[in-house]
Amino acid sequence: MPSADLSRLAALHGVATSYSPSPDRTVAASVTAVTRALAALGVDAGTPEAVRAALAARERERAERLLPPTVVGWGTGVPPALAALPGGTRLLVRTEQGETRPSAENLPPGVHRVTATAPDGRTGEAHLIVAPPGLPAPPARSYGLLVQLYSLLSRRSWGMGDLADLGELADWAGRTLGAGFVQINPLHAAVPGPPTDPSPYRPSSRRFPDPVHLRIEDVPEFAYLSESKGEGAGAGVEGAEGRARLEGPLRRAAELREAVLDKGALIDRDAVWAAKKAALEAVVDEVPLGPGRLAAYRDFLAEQGQALEDHATWCALAEVHGPAWHTWPAPLRDPRSPGTARARRELAARVDFHSRLAWLTDTQLTAVQRTAREAGMPLGIVHDLAVGVHPEGSDAWAQQDTLAAGMSVGAPPDAFNARGQDWGLPPWRPDRLAACGYAPFRALLQALFRYAGALRIDHVMGLFRLWWVPRGLPPTEGTYVRYDAEAMLAVLVLEASRAGAVVIGEDLGTVEPGVRETLRERGVYGTSVLWFERDWEGDGRPLSPETWRADCLATVTTHDLPPTASRLTGEHVGLRDGLGLLTRPLAEEHAEAAADTAEWLDLLTRLGLLHGHGTDGAVPARADGTATTEEARIQAVHRYLLRTPARMIGVWLPDGVGDRRPQNLPGTWDQYPNWRLPVADAQGRPVTLEDLTASPRLRALLDVVRTRTDRPGGAEGTGGVSGTGGAGGAEGTDGADRADAPGRT
């Protein structure tokens, strides 16, 4: 147990000394976890004497300072921290817009600087974040598609889904079916292999997208490859050389596409990138940018500044020394060292190449969002922000001063996972974020909102606190470290409002009291998954739809959960059993899954939502056009979502063709092909984008959703529900109300 002095010191630095895995249980954090977390924050708590000295210094610093490093204000009122200053304190505010003001009233939204001078002579300076009181709701109730982009292959892609495929899907769904959005997985830059970590939630950089998603043929210079380098008679010879350089990548692209779509191969991200990289090198080497394109590229370089230079430098150095920057020659481990500056000059061509790829990817992402909006989508593309970055990636290298060395983000043990979780992601230091006015977080959001109509934030509870696991220790030996949630939310609301974007927080799992209420107050939507919406504080039965919250994205399943067909048939239990993931006898697991499904089907029947079903099992559709039992049940659970007041309804795209395989199976690594499966039909045969858009089964499901999206709360069917629990379970507690939600791997 931490001593009283250590507990006080920890509290002053936002380090918890206990946690609650359930409402009725409190567990003390180990002294090791607390002292290691404090050490990562630059505080020596290794001995009782050191603890007393650090405690005295911290209390003295807080008593003497006039202002904290960052101050937050909402709307046009005076920020509370400034209103609480001693009487007679003089203020000088230098606004982001270039104004100088003697008052903090009626300030425009932005990140300003404020200087305070108290009557006793003390002065203080702070970053002043002023944000709108909250984000507005989406313009109207809408439905959208959820898909992992890599899994969405067209007959034109290079072995995995790309940005042109995404644009085609959005254009079709918006124009043909009135969809309001398409939500995808994080497109952050990955740490290169081989093998590359296929998980989109362990990226090299969250700020810059991965060029593996480029459609090579849509790069403007690609079309001019045959005219590159030279004029007149020489042009044909050198053009032939350029075309020759493309023959190999184009042939390889066709092979990779055929292997996945026609031969049952897994998506091979490394092979796809090798082919695309070779093609891009040929284009960049052989075709100079035209004057206008060159000007646009230079504008992008100037706008992105040091961050892009760091990312491109890391990419160039990784090609020479491998991606694990901790093993690089000592001078190169510091992005600001003279050795790194010298290496950057020596690798200038490769640094420019990787900068060019970032620009090309940014332009295609922007074009996709424009296509979605022109197709009538009010939101367009919903991008996904991972909770952290890979410890060997470019962000970890470039942002060492703001990351907690020797720490990893994870989750504490609870009733559903006694061992806890370690996600292998270094967390931000809350003290360093506050000292710089949350500049890295602001820059990250600004980069994503360039091309996002909405942003999903993975593990949104991380804006409030994160479970820090010291390196070398199991997740059980971690502790929570708190962030200034008001400042984090102010930055989020500020940047989202500037972009006119919606924010969706993934708030599944254990959520401490007050978090959902605070997010709702600021206009941040939550995530509600049908299978978890039960009256956990009451009888545990499924919630009646009218008790759901309105400010959420409501879905039946997610990328971490079984597809709906698999869940309804119980096939997901057999999959987990075959991989040795069950903790109870197979018969017991099957019985529980069957009872869960039966309970939901009973509710759907009583609500009058189960239409056109035949005999048990997945039988072919009848001649009169009525749906199979399986299709009818999948349609029914989506009709249920329409009965809720949720303003956003998400349809997992693979559900529309009967896919059985989850895209990710938490708890597995190489035992299951996580993040490498194409969208497939009920027999496991890959379904192309072209076939998806022509699928009668998918069209029937989307017709159910689109024709009733604008009629929330009782539009479909008649009658009410009794005995399904109260609204308490919809909001959650600090315990295990959603602790069966998926973790991260």
Phi-psi domain of 423 (left: phi exceeds 0; alpha: psi -120 through 50; beta: other): alpha
The answer, yes or no, to whether residue 701 has pLDDT greater than 80, is yes
Integer angstrom CA distances of residue 4 from 37, 273, 640: 17, 55, 52
pLDDT digits (tens, 9 = 90+) for 75-102: 999 999 999 999 999 999 999 999 999 9
State the pLDDT at residue 239: 63
Using one digit for the tens of pLDDT, what is the confidence trace for 520-571? 999 999 999 999 999 988 889 999 999 999 999 999 999 999 999 999 999 9
Total length of the chain = 745
- What mean pLDDT comes out for the span 723-735? 32
Nearest Cα to Cα of residue 276 among 314, 317, 248: 248
Residue range 356-375, pLDDT digits in tens: 999 999 999 999 999 999 99
- Dump the DSSP string for 550-606: SSEEEES--TTS--HHHHHHTHHHHHHHHTT--SS-HHHHHHHHHHHHHHHHHHHHH
Single pTM value for the model: 0.92
Residue type, position 704, single letter? V
| Cα–Cα distance, 635 to 601 (Å, whole number) | 12
Q: Among residues 186, 175, 230, 192, which one has the least CA distance to residue 209?
A: 186
Written as six digits, the tokens of 371 are 């296509």
Tell me if the bond preceding 194 is cis, omega within 30° of 0: yes
As a whole number of angstroms, the distance between CA 115 and CA 463 comes to 27
Helix H or strand E segment including 465: strand 465-470
Q: How far apart are CA 32 and CA 1, in angstroms?
A: 10
Q: 191, 390 in Cβ contact below 8 A?
A: yes
Which residues are within 8 A (CB) of 97 and not within 5 positions of it... i.e. 6 or more apart?
A: 108, 110
The two three-digit tokens of residue 577, written as one number: 């059993």
Beta-bridge partners for 422: 410
Say if residue 237's pLDDT is above 90.
no
State how far Cα 476 lies from the chain centre: 25
Write down the pLDDT at residue 261: 98
- The predicted-structure confidence for 189-221, as pLDDT tens digits, reads as follows 999 988 999 999 999 999 999 999 999 999 999
Give the integer Cα–Cα distance in Å for 201 and 664: 11
> What are 58-72's pLDDT values in tens digits?
999 999 999 999 999
The C-alpha torsion from 340 through 341 and 342 to 346, rounded to 10°, is 90
Average pLDDT (284-307) is 97
All residues at 6 or more sequence positions from 176 whose CB lies less than 8 Å from its CB, including other chains: 693
For residue 740, what pLDDT is reported? Answer: 33
pLDDT digits (tens, 9 = 90+) for 603-662: 999 999 997 654 333 334 444 444 579 999 999 999 999 999 999 999 999 999 999 999
What average pLDDT does range 730-735 have in this prediction? 32
Widest CA span in the chain: 88
**422: Cβ contacts below 8 Å, ≥ 6 apart:** 408, 410, 469, 474, 475, 478
Q: How far apart are CA 426 and CA 547, in angstroms?
A: 38
Comparing 358 with 728, the larger pLDDT belongs to 358
- Show the tokens assigned to 350: 């490769």
Q: Where are the alpha helices (DSSP H) in 13-109?
A: 31-40, 48-64, 80-83
Tokens of 286: 């052989």
Residue 725 has pLDDT above 50, yes or no: no
Contact indicator for 609, 716 with CB cutoff of 8 Å: yes
Contacts of 228 (CB under 8 A, 6+ apart): 235, 238, 239, 242, 286, 287, 288
Neighbour-count burial for 491-529, b at 16+ CB within 10 Å, e otherwise: bbbbbbbebebbbbbbbbbbbbeebbeebbebbbbbbbb
Q: Is 665 in contact with 572 (CB distance < 8 Å)? A: no
Asked whether the beta carbons of 409 and 392 are under 8 A apart, the reply is no
Taking residues 718-736, report their average pLDDT: 32
Helices 586-606/629-643 angle, 10° precision: 60
| Tokens coding 413 | 């043990």
> How does DSSP classify residue 119?
T
Over residues 579-604, the pLDDT tens digits come to 999 889 999 999 999 999 999 999 99
pLDDT the model gives residue 53: 98
According to the model, what pLDDT value does residue 447 have? 97
